[in-house]
Amino acid sequence: MKAISSTFVAAILAAGCGFGASGASPSTPHPLTIDQLLEIKHPSNAIWSPDGRYVAFVWDEGGVGNLYVVETAAGPASCKKLTSFHEGQVASPFWSKTGATIYFPHAGSLWQVDVTSGAPRAAWNATGRMTSFALSPDGADLAFVRSNEGSGSDLVVRSLSSGSERTIAHDETSIAAPVWSPDGKHISFSAGSKTILHEQTPAYSGAKIIYTITERTPGRLLVASSSGGDAIEIHAPVGMGGARWLDAQHLVFDRQSADFKKRTSYVADIHTGNVTAAHEDVEDKFWSIPYDSGASAQPSPDGNWI
């Protein structure tokens, strides 16, 4: 499945799907209202359907996200709104293997919608809060994290056809970032990271203004069989961020040194947990890259390059 930029979506949809819906002439001066500001839509999360016939994307309007789809050959006139939520967001949508259905997280559960008929609905009757959905390479199974207050997190694999579930890992603190191996036999994930909130009321702004700082502690990197069994912990330096699969037997991941001057890319054997440093970047002052720059080491499709 291929993703495309929101800039591209904006370009192909600029003539339709709600842009310029106010009806006012650009040459006619008029006051800018709060309602007009809230009506500004921001397209994001654009993804191709498996057959390339459609592009699905999320439009945020006034802090509420909804899912849209456009038929690429027909252009902007075919743009269709698939959901009509009045609150909340639609995050990280993904297509079914057949391209007939789009799945998307919303309000702590997984939803689905048929591309042609619409009518979004919950994918199943869920228990607990579900996050971090990952579709298997063959499109038959879905991995996700289920969290229940006070009882930790489970990594669950669910069959999309039968609805049967199996829990393949548990952590009392947290589980995040599940990623399937290319052959669908294993899933990498991080576990044990904590979110700690720090509240401060500096004297210069007064006691009525509270500043909140969110601290996230590093987690461990593990690999579990998608059919169940004990997970194998990768002998890696603790750190933030998930992993990418080099091939069906090896992971690639990055870690920064405590002084922020080194960033090392590692290759891990999923059967032994042993790691090898593949490349290291060193900066005299400190290593710093913007969060959304996509700087993580990326394996080539044939696994020969990183």
The tokens for 291 are 């969060």
- Cβ neighbors of 301 (< 8 A, separation 6 or more) are none
CA gap 274, 268 in Å, rounded: 6
Is 200 a residue whose pLDDT tops 50? yes
| Banded model confidence at residue 21, pLDDT cuts 50, 70, 90 | very low
| Banded model confidence at residue 22, pLDDT cuts 50, 70, 90 | very low
CA gap 154, 147 in Å, rounded: 6
Phi and psi torsions of 180, nearest 5°: -75, 145
- Taking Cα atoms as reference points, which of 263, 246, 110, 134 lies closest to residue 190? 134
Mean pLDDT of the region 176-201: 94
Phi and psi torsions of 244, nearest 5°: -120, 150
For residue 243, the model assigns a pLDDT of 92
Helix (H, G, I), strand (E, B) or coil at 252: strand
For residue 23, the model assigns a pLDDT of 46
- Taking Cα atoms as reference points, which of 106, 136, 200, 107 lies closest to residue 1? 136
How many residues are given for the chain?
306
E strands within 83-235? 94-95, 101-106, 109-114, 118-122, 129-135, 141-147, 153-159, 165-171, 175-180, 186-191, 195-200, 211-216, 220-225, 232-233
Residue 187 β-bridge partners = 180, 224
For residue 14, the model assigns a pLDDT of 46
Mean pLDDT of the region 296-301: 89
- Cβ neighbors of 4 (< 8 A, separation 6 or more) are 46, 47, 48, 55
- Cβ neighbors of 120 (< 8 A, separation 6 or more) are 67, 82, 83, 111, 112, 113
Mean pLDDT of the region 249-264: 91
Is 163 a residue whose pLDDT tops 60? yes
CA gap 165, 144 in Å, rounded: 11
For residue 26, the model assigns a pLDDT of 56
- Cβ neighbors of 170 (< 8 A, separation 6 or more) are 152, 153, 154, 155
Mean pLDDT of the region 280-286: 88
> What rounded mean pLDDT belongs to the chain?
87
Mean pLDDT of the region 96-124: 92
Is 59 a residue whose pLDDT tops 80? yes
Mean pLDDT of the region 6-34: 58
